[in-house]
Amino acid sequence: MALPDAGTGAAPFLRIEGVSKSFGSFKAVNDVSLTVEKGEIFALLGGSGCGKTTLLRMLAGFEEPTAGRIFLDGRDMAGVQPWDRPVHMMFQSYALFPHMTVAKNIGYGLKHEKMTKAERDARVREMLDLVQLTQFAGRKPHQISGGQRQRVALARALARQPKLLLLDEPLAALDKKLREHTQFELMSIQQRTGVTFIVVTHDQEEAMTLADRIAVMDKGVVRQIGSPTEIYEFPNSRFVASFIGSITSFEAKVAGREGAHLVVDVPALGGRILARDVPGVVEGQAVTLAVRPEKLNLTKERPESPNAVEGMVKDLAYFGKDSLYRIALPSGALVQAHAVNARRGMEAARVADWDDKIWLSFDPGSAIVLAD
């Protein structure tokens, strides 16, 4: 408790301070700082090779950071060996011991606890029950399915009641259907056990579903940290905006401020539009204006909105509950927009047809200005 802010009670559970890891001259993780609260599900999201596994391995103690410090529950983890850390990891490949039964695998970590054999057996039974594998207790890992193996790996990592559980792509090896089901199972197990989870994933939907907060990583750097809503609605860079969900973006220039809004010049949209103000941008600065496709409204008549432009339907794809329109603007730009097919019927279902004139509009609040 020698830390300046450890005694205040408000100290974060896990604090990563300026952590970097170099392999030779290559920086796999570059100056990452973040905090994780107790009982949270925190996701590390990023493309392949961006340093997610390397960061996890530093938390587990398999790699020493080249620079920076890691504090867990107020304790500096520098030099603490993997076997002494109250941190357990669920490996990307599960890493189950092939020569041990499911029950032996789950009970493996308990050997190091001061427990009687009866207590240990009871704990293994409790874990088997938690992941619903009681009837497979005596099988070897190669005698069960991939989804069951994933649950054995989870139970094994949870058996010793770690303070922090690290999950490296826990669902990547499962097929799509099982993955969706397992996501919810993972969340419910996290709620019941109260253990803090850090989940690595390259699947943005998975991160959005599972996590309380997400850190978006790119080339070893954390680009943005926030709740799924914050990351989706208020991305801070073109990279984050395009990594999460789909987005339509235009080159723009800041023209000034008007009330609570920013006025930007967007040549592709044929004029000035109002956008949500972001601090730090100045008049004349070149920026990007981005809008999520589902935030674009399509109407036959000219709408009230200050941001409206008339275009022509070039292409449309019908998906049942909604349709995707590709609209050509007078400037020559093509814009994609989603419209819900609210009305029922063959022709009436669509707002517009091929080559129809149509008005495209969006709320100033959903127009995102990105400086970076």
Partner 1 sequence: MAEPSTLRDATAPVEPRQGGAFARWLDRRGWSDILIGGPYIWLLLLFLVPFLIVVAMSVATKTSTAPPISWGGEVPLLNWEPYQRVLSDGLYLRAFLTSVMNAGIAMILCLFIGYPMALGLVRVAPSWRNILLMLVILPFWTSFLLRVYAWMGLMGRNSWFNGMLTDAWNFLVPIDWAVRSIPMMNSNFAVVLVMVYTYLPFMILPLYASLERLDTTLDEAAMDLGSRPARVFWDVTLPQSVPGIIAGGMLVFIPAAGELVIPSLVGNASSPMIGRLISDEFSMARDWPMASAIAVMLLLLMVVPTMLYSHYQAKAGGSK
Give min distance, CB of 81 to ligand ATP, in A: 18
Tell me the residue nearest to ligand ATP as measured from the CB.
53
**At 231, which amino acid appears?**
I
The site partner of 28 among partner 1, Mg ion, ligand ATP, none (C-beta below 5 to 8 Å per kind) is ligand ATP
Q: Restricting to residues 113-152, name those near partner 1 by CB under 8 A.
A: 140, 142
Contact map string, positions 262 to 301, toward partner 1, x by CB under 8 A: ----------------------------------------
Q: Could you tell me if 94 and 155 are in contact, meaning their C-beta atoms sit under 8 angstroms apart?
A: no
How many CA atoms are closer than 13 Å to the CA of 47, on its beta-carbon side?
8
* CA gap 366, 233 in Å, rounded: 8
Residue of 9, 25, 112, 279 that binds partner 1 (CB under 8 A): 112
How far are the Cα atoms of 66, 367, 370 from residue 276, in angstroms, in the given order? 40, 6, 10
Q: Restricting to residues 195-224, name those near ligand ATP by CB under 6 A.
A: 202
User: Per rule CB under 8 A, is residue 93 in the interface with partner 1?
Assistant: yes
Give 105 or 248: the residue with its C-beta nearer to partner 1.
105
Pairing of strands 41-46, 213-218: parallel
* CA gap 148, 136 in Å, rounded: 9
The site partner of 108 among ligand ATP, Mg ion, partner 1, none (C-beta below 5 to 8 Å per kind) is partner 1
User: Per rule CB under 8 A, is residue 23 in the interface with partner 1?
Assistant: no
Q: Could you tell me if 228 and 207 are in contact, meaning their C-beta atoms sit under 8 angstroms apart?
A: yes
List phi, psi (to 5°) of 40: -90, 155
User: Per rule CB under 8 A, is residue 156 in the interface with partner 1?
Assistant: yes
Q: Could you tell me if 34 and 51 are in contact, meaning their C-beta atoms sit under 8 angstroms apart?
A: no
Q: Maximum Cα–Cα distance for the chain, whole Å?
A: 78
Give min distance, CB of 6 to partner 1, in A: 25
* CA gap 13, 164 in Å, rounded: 9
Of 81-89, 114-122, 222-230, 341-349, the segment contacting partner 1 by CB under 8 A is 81-89
Give 174 or 358: the residue with its C-beta nearer to ligand ATP.
174
With CA atoms as reference, report the closest residue to 302 among 261, 358, 246: 358
Residue of 28, 60, 215, 268 that binds partner 1 (CB under 8 A): 60
Contact map string, positions 157 to 176, toward partner 1, x by CB under 8 A: x--x----------------
Residue of 42, 46, 53, 197 that binds Mg ion (CB under 5 A): 53
User: Per rule CB under 6 A, is residue 51 in the interface with ligand ATP?
Assistant: yes
Q: Could you tell me if 327 and 338 are in contact, meaning their C-beta atoms sit under 8 angstroms apart?
A: no
* CA gap 274, 261 in Å, rounded: 6
Give min distance, CB of 106 to partner 1, in A: 10
Give min distance, CB of 183 to ligand ATP, in A: 18
206 membership: H or E segment, kind and range:
helix 204-210
List the structure tokens of 265: 């010049």
User: Per rule CB under 8 A, is residue 91 in the interface with partner 1?
Assistant: yes
How far are the Cα atoms of 29, 51, 54, 67 from residue 23, in angstroms, in the given order? 9, 11, 10, 12
Tell me the residue nearest to Mg ion as measured from the CB.
53
Of 104-112, 232-240, 281-289, 349-357, the segment contacting partner 1 by CB under 8 A is 104-112
Residues that bind partner 1 (CB under 8 A): 60, 62, 81-83, 87-89, 91, 93, 95-99, 108-109, 111-112, 140, 142, 156-157, 160
